[in-house]
Chains A and B, each alone.
Chain A
Amino acid sequence: MKLDNAIKGVLDAEAALAKRLLAVGERHAADHDVYHLGHTLARQAADHVTRLTPFAERYHMAPPAPPHAGDSHGILETLRLKRSQLMGRAESAGMLLLRELRETYLLAQATEIAWTILQQAALAVRDGELLDVISTCHEQTETCAKWLRTRIKETAPQALAAG
């Protein structure tokens, strides 16, 4: 049984997604919805890691490092926040935002497919408890990707066609 592999796949993807959402939120603090939802969804991704972690042991995986919850303002975040406020007046802000949302969307998609893989394996080993966790987290990850898609569809015209 190699479920540890699939669990690690999800945990790594969620951790990377949480980190990226937080960074995008801080870098684009002048886009206030990106700031707030970036933080909310980063916390959600970190929460997914927490919920999946107990299963790591069940399937003999070394416990992962605790996730970055996205609540504390470290020096890096503060620097990013300051920079984003200064950047807020530059027209290039839209292009930069579009690029970063796109990258984040791809990470969210990678996370989504990692959950799908784990779900298939969990079905095969008939682990109902694991399936319960997967069902909620997977759907939330899909919604996260969908939000990014919505935001990208709104951002692209202004960034690319105005001016």
Chain B
Amino acid sequence: MPDRIADIWGRRTPYGAEARWPVRVDQYLEDGVAEADVEWVRSACVLCSNGCGMDIAVHDGRIAGVRGRATDRVNHGRLGPKGLYGWQANNSPDRLTEPLIRETGGRLRPASWDEAMSLVAERSREVLAERGPLGMGFYNTGQLFLEDYYTLSLLVRAGIGTPHLDANTRLCTATADFALKETFGSDGDPGSVTDIDCCDTIFTIGHNIAETQTVLWSRILDRLHGPDRPRLVVVDPRRTAVAREADVHLPIRGGTNLALLNGIQHELIENGWVDRAFVDRNTVGFDRLTQTVAEYPPERAADICGVPADDIRAAARVIGGARRLVSTCLQGVYQSHQATASACQVNNINLLRAMIGRPGRAVFQMNGQPTAQNTRETGANGDLAGMRNWQNPEHVAELARIWNVDPLRVPAWAPPTHVMRMMRYAEEGSIRFLWIIGTNPAVSLPELARIRSILRQKRLFVVVSDAFRTETTEFADVVLPAAMWGEKTGTYTNHDRTVHLSERAVDPPGAARPDMEIFLDYARRLELTDKDGAPLIKWRTPEECFEAFKQMTRGRPCDYSGLSYDRLRGDNSGIQWPCTDQTPAGTERLYADHEFNTATDYCEDYGHDLLTGAAHERKDHSAMAPAGRAILKAAHYLPAHEPPTDDYPFWYTTGRTVYHWHTRTKTGRVRRLDAAAPEMWVEMSPADAERLDLAEGDLVRVESPRGRLKARVRIGGGRDGVVFAPFHYGYWDMPNGDGDGGSGNGDGNGGRDRARAANELTITDWDPVSKQPLVKTAAVSVTKVTEGGAQAR
């Protein structure tokens, strides 16, 4: 097999429209382990939202490799570089293997589970007694399994009774979730990955597919390099691998997505590239949309976005001429200015052209994380379990009935609290207990000096569950060692609603436990009960939890009622929800009948004003009466909150490299992946570099009004005036420790000379609808520190 660090997408297997994507099985086994000596255990990859089917190779009780599953509907055997090599983190010698408790002196010392959990329960009871449920906060991840999430959701919503439960999916897919709810009435991506196989046009905005979902990009590349090549329109300020394949590339100015999308819709409507019969029959809001986008002729959009008007026309012409259009977007939209408003316009484009619910016709509001979809379905984030509407008393009552609790027990007086608001409550001192599960906010949230100063407060009791010590565990009062993927059984769902089962292949190291077991222990210690005094949580095993979950989803958009562990172990690898007794094979596309989930009694959300986030109420939704029609939402462009200035002349944007995941807790421990991208860098355009007299490898200081970092410069082909920084790098693996982590010198910027995390510079600001932090919208300055050779390591 080729070196998949250099050859990221692997060998091409070109195919034409409506052909089957050829199988190519990617496999990697540890040196010295023969295929004959391993046992294969069924699983799926957890290193991006594509969720490729894979088998885990077990040798001598350890994970010794992986292979893509040839029969899987998502990947046809392929794996990306992170999937192939990332599992090695499981075997890392520095896994957390026992609970830790912070001593009075500040050091973390080993403890037994009983001692650690007693302390967590005792502190919880104190806070509940002193401050009530609103003093308790829980912040989890997009990395657990469905069963972990659902247990947590029930525990927090009906047991603790607080709305303060969110996940780091707030940073990745909150906008996808909200854009789908605004337009289609409920969450759930309508399309299927097989739509790539038969589309004739792909429109992608703010989505570096080549690095975020490498196997999905392989599929697209195989179409692009096969017969009947689809046309490709790409919007990205950087010249990414995706942009290099484009027919039309629009490297727009940061924060101007909405103006561009309005400009494109202006052209679609102006030129009659609209399916009026579909729009009239199946949507509401066309007149308002027409009125709004009328103000964005290509010249005006060009002026705002900083690209030629003719290029906008060319993009619109390609989209307008498509017969089978797949549109996708991701963080370039979700983490940027006017996020939900822009994401809704991508939905609009497909709706204007009736490109929905049929083969090759789909819009993907993409996910980032492998199990993000499950936080949304279980209600372990900003949603209510089973895609129920927190503003609909019937939905809340139904959930309370299923959970056997008083409806008043379920916090439904406002939307579930988003993480930035939870941090604010911790900052002002009204949240005093914060449990952080499988995520690393001390590196991943914006404006890190502020986040550190919040987590450092003595009055805040911090519990962290993780597989490794991280920058965040340095602020913890109690650290709980968690089992990882491969060490527990459970299910998860990818971005085209494909559900996979992942079996426990090996035991967790030392005393580490699956998250679900930790939650069950906590619920027992707090003696959480239902309204009849029986234990609130009725299950003990992942399978029992899955059975309870699927009953809870019956009749809702994410209906799992036809699924079971046995069915997921069957020959057809990967089954898409909704899956019911009537549709046992699953459902390839939502909305095939063009009937959307917008009936007032059924919908998951009544919608919002896109500019302010003002929540519509039931009466507003009834008055609009979409009743199964999709909602075309319109919004005007507004300038971003922190435009470049004389002092901070560059637009700062953060993003990913293909070799790393999140804050590198896993990928930084895998030799090949780490070696492929070992240190922080920033990317600038050739013209900007020349102006500042910078050569590749020079060390620069990048500053925003909130902080600074130092990094080496890479010169890339992006738009002038843009500084790109990867968000992966923190401090845990720097020499002498943690930068400014908890055991640093405590001034909030202690590792100043070594500060390198991208979020030192980002702004505390979030989208008014999805509440997704806007980490692609800051202004920064760049100063040369030393020439490349001088300080090379």
Chain A interface residues toward B at CB < 8 A: 30-33, 36-37, 40-41, 88-91, 93-94, 143-144, 146-147, 149-150, 153-154, 157-158, 161-163
B735 to chain A, nearest CB (A): 34
Binds A, one of B69-77, B130-138, B308-316, B379-387: B130-138
In the complex formed, the residue of B with least CB distance to A160 is B134
A88's contact among B415, B427, B638, by CB below 8 Å, is which?
Answer: B427
A36 touches B641 (CB 8 A): yes
Tell me the bound Cα distance from A32 to B130 in angstroms: 28
B609's contact among A32, A143, A158, A161, by CB below 8 Å, is which?
Answer: A143
- How many residue pairs link A and B with beta carbons under 8 A? The number is 80
Tell me the bound Cα distance from A40 to B609 in angstroms: 14
B132 touches A41 (CB 8 A): no
Q: Is B392 an interface residue (CB 8 A)?
A: no
Tell me the bound Cα distance from A13 to B36 in angstroms: 80
* A146 neighbours in B (Cβ, 8 Å): 609, 612, 614-615
24 sampled A-B residue pairs with Cβ under 8 A: A30-B427, A32-B424, A33-B768, A37-B613, A89-B428, A89-B429, A91-B430, A94-B430, A144-B612, A146-B615, A147-B612, A147-B613, A147-B614, A150-B614, A150-B615, A153-B414, A154-B414, A154-B417, A161-B134, A162-B134, A162-B431, A163-B130, A163-B132, A163-B135
Of B130, B134, B163, most A-chain CB atoms within 10 Å: B134
* B427 neighbours in A (Cβ, 8 Å): 30, 88-89
B611 touches A91 (CB 8 A): no
Of A37, A90, A146, A149, most B-chain CB atoms within 10 Å: A146
Q: Is B274 an interface residue (CB 8 A)?
A: no
Summarize B's interface: helix, strand, loop or mixed: loop
* A163 neighbours in B (Cβ, 8 Å): 130-132, 134-135, 430
Tell me the bound Cα distance from A67 to B747 in angstroms: 42
Tell me the bound Cα distance from A33 to B764 in angstroms: 9
Known A-B contacts A32-B766, A157-B414, A162-B132; A93 and B428 likewise in contact (beta carbons under 8 Å): yes
Within 8 A of A (CB), among B604-659: 609, 611-615, 638, 641
Tell me the bound Cα distance from A93 to B609 in angstroms: 27
B612 touches A88 (CB 8 A): no
A143 touches B614 (CB 8 A): yes
* B612 neighbours in A (Cβ, 8 Å): 37, 40-41, 143-144, 146-147
Within 8 A of A (CB), among B428-469: 428-431
Instruction: Scan B376-401; emit 1 where CB is below 8 A from any A CB, else 0.
Output: 00000000000000000000000000
A113 to chain B, nearest CB (A): 18
Of B427, B611, B612, B638, most A-chain CB atoms within 10 Å: B612
* B614 neighbours in A (Cβ, 8 Å): 143, 146-147, 149-150
* B429 neighbours in A (Cβ, 8 Å): 89-91
* B519 neighbours in A (Cβ, 8 Å): none
A157 touches B428 (CB 8 A): no
In the complex formed, the residue of A with least CB distance to B771 is A33
* B425 neighbours in A (Cβ, 8 Å): 158, 162
Q: Is B765 an interface residue (CB 8 A)?
A: yes
* B135 neighbours in A (Cβ, 8 Å): 162-163
A74 to chain B, nearest CB (A): 18
Tell me the bound Cα distance from A154 to B680 in angstroms: 39
Q: Is B420 an interface residue (CB 8 A)?
A: yes
In the complex formed, the residue of A with least CB distance to B766 is A33
* B766 neighbours in A (Cβ, 8 Å): 32-33
A158 touches B430 (CB 8 A): yes
* B428 neighbours in A (Cβ, 8 Å): 30, 88-91, 93-94
Taking A33-B613, A94-B428, A158-B430 as known contacts, 8 extra A-B pairs with beta carbons closer than 8 A to each other, sorted by chain A number, are A37-B612, A37-B768, A89-B427, A94-B430, A143-B609, A162-B132, A162-B135, A163-B134
Tell me the bound Cα distance from A124 to B555 in angstroms: 52
A143's contact among B163, B611, B641, by CB below 8 Å, is which?
Answer: B611
B561 to chain A, nearest CB (A): 34
Known A-B contacts A89-B429, A161-B132, A162-B134; A31 and B424 likewise in contact (beta carbons under 8 Å): yes
Tell me the bound Cα distance from A30 to B130 in angstroms: 25
Tell me the bound Cα distance from A162 to B135 in angstroms: 6
In the complex formed, the residue of A with least CB distance to B413 is A157
* B641 neighbours in A (Cβ, 8 Å): 36
* A41 neighbours in B (Cβ, 8 Å): 612
B707 to chain A, nearest CB (A): 16
